[in-house]
Chains A and B, each alone.
Chain A
Amino acid sequence: MSGGEPLLEDEIREDRPRQRFVLDDQGFDEVPKKYRRFYRRWRGPEDTLGPNEALCPVCRIVVRSTRELRPGDRVYCMACMTRLEIVRSDAGHLEAHVVY
């Protein structure tokens, strides 16, 4: 998992406070420097996403947040300029869906 350093070890229950993360720059150079830590490259199907990360379905870049992500959250992919909403899939995983 490469989501960043968790600040709090809360349970991943949606009625509990969210985990917070300190994001580091992982070398994603397709957005201005001040935004780089919010994104990283996807390493393929074996890449495990952190609780604060979602895969952009449009451009396959990993979007990162300082907070644990939960269904209903809105995040932005600046690499392809897409607004995304976090949803829980039928299989129980969190996924990012495009919001036009």
Chain B
Amino acid sequence: MGDTVTEVHDLDPQVFLEEVHSFEFWFEAVRGYLDGLEHGHRPETPEAEFTEGERERLVTVLCHYCIGETAALEGAGGLIQIAPNRAGKVFLSTQAVDEGRHLEVLLHRLRELGVAEPEAEIERRGSRSLLEFKRRLGELVRSRDWVAAIFAQNVVLESMEFASFHIHMQRADPRTKEMLAAIVKDERRHIGFGENELGRRLKEAPYARERLRAVRDELDGLVMRSFEETMDAIGTPRSERSELGRQYHSAVERLGFAR
């Protein structure tokens, strides 16, 4: 692809897919918003002054996020092995790098907040629903169930993270807000990859919808409980939680297996 593009929408569909799934595209995209950041935020961004209660709640939320990102990192790494084509494997390698970065900046943020041993803190404060989701996602990946695993990882988990981070950003302290803003930009690619991959699979094999409906029925409860636990810890009023799940439910509706 040259340096000048007269009309991007004239690209051949196959050329478009090869371009957006490429490592080259990913590298140029992330450089646009990660250049100048250190550990996920600009070095000059001041630390907020927290009350002890605010700090405690933020540490709990970040511990939840660490579990979600660990699940996403392990999931993306495992999905590379079972992706049905090489372009998908290349894309998932970029996603694995994204998830590794997310986990690293979250752990660093915990240390900035005075958490001496983040691993132990995550163990102590971790959301049970998220841990159960992580366990189930691992099973789906290990069983090489591509459509179920990509649905759980790139539609369910990524949508949940996208919505949580987006809502949290509205109230977050400056450093956490910058860190989440960059993560959300990565999540957009992951969500799109998952929905489009599933959409193409379902066109070829509509019977897979029943399998996905069963996975959705199993995971819905865990997803919504995780949402609620995180929103409680952030302190988001119930009246402001309507965006929660919108992305997830819209995707499921577009893919044709809404309730």
Contacts and interface: CB of A to CB of B under 8 A. Distances in A.
For A63, A74, A98, A100, the residue with the greatest tally of chain B CB atoms inside 10 Å of its CB is: A100
A86 to B, nearest CB: 10
How many chain B residues sit at the interface, stated as a range, is 35 or more
B16 interface: yes
Contact of A29 (B25, B33, B203): B33
A34 interface: yes
Contacts, number: 90
A98 B13 CA distance: 13
Nearest to B9: A75
A78 B195 contact: no
B208 interface: no
B203 A76 contact: no
Nearest to A83: B13
B185 A30 contact: yes
A76 B188 contact: no
Contact of A57 (B8, B28, B254): B254
A78 B8 contact: yes
Contacts of B202: 100
A67 B11 CA distance: 14
A61 B193 CA distance: 15
Interface of A: 29-36, 38, 57-59, 61, 63, 65-67, 73-83, 98, 100
